[in-house]
């Protein structure tokens, strides 16, 4: 989009062309920050559910004033010899047969007044809400709409939409334990049914392992925020906190084999096991709720398998219960992994970020990577032992009670990693004219 914005600026200024963008991101505020950073002066629409039916991005389409597509995929490299003579400088007449029915799009104003529980009405109201709702607030009156969308099933598209709704609630003040995992599971099921759906694949990769990343998704946010502020503007606030996976770069090395050491979000130093004898008092979730989500490598949903079958990014959230809060003068909470045979990780210990003043009751998050060890090249050994699908782990943390007493607790949990069989693949992306590898800024 920055390229097209620059090339069409003169036409827009002359009133000869209008631009509009449609973003397919989960978080519209991030797209709004990117637009502010690049100084886009055209409106952006938000389509996280994929109502446009697109499989890949970016796609540029030139439409005349009567709504007719005149140039479906103009090439920015051929702007002067293609876009100008074939579209910008053409005088298109209205269609002669005005009675020909045209396909109808999803018009918000036609559905937004429908009663709660209707799918089209729920979609319209959630999209209309846009960036006004973030993790600091509740979805309030739209909670019934999200719940209606979470109940969608019966088709890959419906399953994907349900995942989008689960992640929206996870980012809101009304988060329910398990929302993030439900989102990832829904997206994985949808992608498994339609493995050539590039946009769905990228949604999982956003929170997935580095072995599966085409590029870092949001490493530009900090720099964009600084640049916008230097211009004297107030940067668009990024409401949902970024996870380590969202700024991590791609890699071809499995966790534990990297010379640079631990993954982003993990402890940068060696840490001894905090409770080797198991004597710490257990918290069964009464003081701190523990939420777990596993984003697996999307090669399990088809494509070129270029990583171990168990490659995953694990996201853990510690959420203080009512009346408890984090101390500011204690060591940060810690996760300890019991790494079984045939598995590897960057380190057995991963630290959470320290809570900041004023955020003693806020949830803390950490994410780290796991992978099965690579097998030797050669014919598959049908008698070979499969890696365990359940990994044991525990978290240790200091937490302060309502009366001001601070205690040290341990909470045990298990990490479930499944190994689904790859589906039968259809034609690879690109055979119908779609780009098989969109450029790096495609998601921005």
Residue 263 scores a pLDDT above 80: no
Nearest to 190 by CA among 354, 368, 199: 199
Question: How high is the pLDDT of residue 444?
Answer: 38
Nearest to 283 by CA among 405, 362, 367, 396: 396
Both structure tokens of 337: 């992994």
Residue 36 scores a pLDDT above 90: yes
Question: Is the separation of the CB atoms in 392 and 341 below 8 Å?
Answer: no
Residue 76 scores a pLDDT above 60: yes
For residue 441, name the pLDDT band (cuts at 50, 70, 90).
very low
Sign of CA dihedral 123, 124, 126, 131: positive
For the chain, domains (ranges, CATH) are 108-198 (no CATH), 251-373+387-431 (2.60.40)
Question: Is the separation of the CB atoms in 253 and 56 below 8 Å?
Answer: no
Question: Residue 105: how many CB atoms within 10 A of its CB?
Answer: 10
Beta-strand runs (E) in 235-354: 288-296, 312-320, 334-338, 343-345, 349-351
Q: What is the pLDDT of residues 331-385, one digit of tens each?
A: 999 999 999 888 888 889 999 998 889 999 999 999 999 988 766 655 556 666 7
Give the whole-angstrom CA distance, residue 187 versus residue 161: 8
| Mean pLDDT in residue range 403-427 | 81
**pTM for the structure as a whole:** 0.85
Instruction: Specify the DSSP class assigned to residue 380.
Output: -
Higher pLDDT, 96 or 219: 219
Residue 262 scores a pLDDT above 80: no
Residue 266 scores a pLDDT above 50: no
For residue 392, name the pLDDT band (cuts at 50, 70, 90).
very high
Half-sphere exposure of 298 (CA within 13 A, CB side): 29
Question: How high is the pLDDT of residue 6?
Answer: 82
Question: How high is the pLDDT of residue 175?
Answer: 87
Residue 305 scores a pLDDT above 60: no
Question: How high is the pLDDT of residue 408?
Answer: 97
Nearest to 262 by CA among 350, 366, 352: 350
Question: How high is the pLDDT of residue 136?
Answer: 43
Q: What is the pLDDT of residues 9-26, one digit of tens each?
A: 888 788 888 888 999 999
pLDDT over 70 percentage in the chain: 80
Distances (CA, A) of 16 to 6, 9, 59: 15, 10, 21
Q: What are the residues facing 434 on neighbouring strands?
A: none
Nearest to 221 by CA among 35, 21, 356: 35
Residue 307 scores a pLDDT above 70: no
Mean pLDDT of the chain: 82
């Amino acid at each position: 989009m920055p390229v097209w914005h620059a090339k069409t600026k003169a036409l827009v200024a002359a009133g000869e062309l209008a631009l509009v963008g449609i973003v397919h991101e989960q978080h519209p505020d991030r797209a709004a920050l990117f637009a502010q950073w690049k100084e886009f002066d055209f409106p952006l629409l938000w389509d996280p559910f994929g109502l446009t039916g697109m499989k890949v991005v970016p796609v540029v389409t030139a439409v005349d004033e009567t709504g007719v597509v005149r140039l479906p995929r103009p090439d920015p490299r051929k702007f002067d010899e293609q876009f100008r003579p074939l579209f910008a400088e053409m005088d298109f007449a209205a269609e002669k047969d005005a009675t020909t029915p045209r396909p109808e799009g999803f018009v918000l104003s036609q559905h937004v007044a429908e009663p709660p529980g209707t799918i089209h009405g729920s979609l319209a109201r959630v999209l209309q809400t846009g960036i006004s709702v973030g993790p600091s607030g509740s979805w309030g009156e739209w909670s019934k709409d999200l719940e209606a969308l979470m109940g969608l099933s019966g088709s890959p598209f419906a399953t994907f939409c349900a995942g989008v709704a689960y992640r929206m609630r996870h980012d809101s003040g009304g988060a329910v334990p398990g929302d993030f995992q439900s989102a990832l599971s829904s997206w994985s099921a949808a992608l498994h049914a339609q493995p050539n759906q590039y946009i769905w694949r990228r949604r999982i990769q956003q929170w997935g392992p580095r072995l599966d990343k085409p590029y870092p998704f949001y490493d530009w946010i900090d720099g964009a925020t600084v640049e916008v502020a230097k211009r004297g503007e107030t940067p668009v606030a990024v409401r949902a906190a970024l996870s380590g996976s969202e700024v991590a770069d791609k890699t071809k090395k499995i966790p534990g084999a990297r010379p640079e050491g631990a993954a982003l979000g993990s402890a940068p130093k060696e840490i001894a096991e905090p409770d080797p004898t198991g004597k710490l008092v257990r918290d069964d979730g009464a003081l701190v709720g523990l939420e777990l989500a596993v984003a697996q490598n999307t090669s399990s949903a088809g494509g070129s398998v270029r990583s171990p079958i168990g490659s995953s990014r694990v996201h853990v959230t510690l959420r203080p219960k009512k009346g408890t809060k984090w101390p500011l003068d204690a060591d940060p909470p810690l996760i300890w992994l019991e790494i079984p045979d045939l598995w590897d990780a960057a380190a057995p210990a991963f630290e959470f970020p320290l809570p900041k003043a004023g955020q003693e009751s806020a949830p803390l998050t950490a994410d780290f990577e796991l992978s099965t060890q690579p097998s030797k090249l050669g014919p598959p050994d049908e008698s070979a032992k499969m890696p365990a699908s359940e990994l044991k782990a525990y978290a240790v943390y200091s937490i302060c009670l309502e009366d001001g007493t601070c205690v040290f607790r341990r909470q045990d949990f298990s990490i479930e990693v499944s190994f689904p069989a790859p589906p039968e693949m259809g034609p690879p992306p690109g055979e119908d004219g779609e780009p098989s590898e969109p450029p790096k800024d495609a998601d921005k």
